[in-house]
Amino acid sequence: TQLLEQSPQFLSIQEGENLTVYCNSSSVFSSLQWYRQEPGEGPVLLVTVVTGGEVKKLKRLTFQFGDARKDSSLHITAAQPGDTGLYLCAGGSNYQLIWGAGTKLIIKP
Amino acid sequence: DAEITQSPRHKITETGRQVTLACHQTWNHNNMFWYRQDLGHGLRLIHYSYGVHDTNKGEVSDGYSVSRSNTEDLPLTLESAASSQTSVYFCASSEEPGVMNTEAFFGQGTRLTVV
C-alpha cells in the first residue's frame, strides 16, 4: 500500500515567521499536487510539480519536488493570517492519486 | 462560471436508512470522484467515474454505490447507513479523460452524521 506522510500534522506560528511542510513517501510519483483547504470548503489546487528537482513559486509559497520524485516540500516565507488552512499533498500516476493526511496551519496575527 | 455543487450540505440520518448525496458539475468534465475526509486520514477515494455509464470502486467502496447516467451528475448512495460512515463527503471532477492525477475541482462538501 502506498503511503504519503505529511509533517507536521499541526503548526501554529506567528505572522511573519517562515515555515516548511513536508510530504514524504517510499514510492515514486509521476506528479505531486499541493492543495489548500479552508474550513467548510473543498480543497483548491495550489500547484502541480512533475519533474524531479522542480521548484515552483507562488508569491510567498515555494514548492519543491524531490530529485527522486518521492517527496515534496512547501515553504512559506513571512506567513500571513490569510495562509491559515489545511494543506494537502497528493501524489499521483495516471491510475491513482494518494493523499496525505494534511498539515493544519494556523498563522496568528 | 462553471462549478460543482453538492447537496445537502448537512445531513443527519439514522442507522440502516438509505441516503443519497447529490453532486452536480457544470464543468462538462468526464471524470468525477467521491471522497470521504476523516481526521487523520486525509481524503479517501470511495468511487470514481471516467464517463457516462462508467463507475469504478475506490479504496473504501464497501457500503456505497454510484451511478453515472449523464455527464453532470454522480450521486452517491449509502445503501444502509452505519455510524462508521459519519464523515465529510467531497465530490470532485477533473478534465483530462481517464487519468487520475490532473487538477481536481471540489465541491463544498456534505457533512453526514449517522445516529
In tens, the pLDDT along B15-56 reads: 999 999 999 999 999 999 999 999 878 899 999 999 999 999
Of B56, B93, B70, nearest to A43 (Cα)? B93
CB of B34 within 8 Å of a chain A CB? The answer is: no
Looking at every residue in chain B, the average pLDDT score rounds to 95
The whole-angstrom distance between B80's CA and the closest CA on chain A is 26
Q: Is A79:A87 a contact under the CB 8 Å cutoff?
A: no
The answer to whether the CB atoms of A42 and B106 lie below 8 A apart is: yes
Residues of B within 8 A of A101 (CB-CB) are 40-42
Task: Work out the average pLDDT over B62-80.
Answer: 98
pLDDT at A1 over 70: no
What amino acid occupies position A10?
F
What distances in angstroms separate CA A61 from CA A50, A106, B10, B42, B114, one per listed residue?
A: 17, 15, 33, 22, 39
The whole-angstrom distance between B38's CA and the closest CA on chain A is 9
Residues of A within 8 A of B107 (CB-CB) are 42
The whole-angstrom distance between B13's CA and the closest CA on chain A is 20
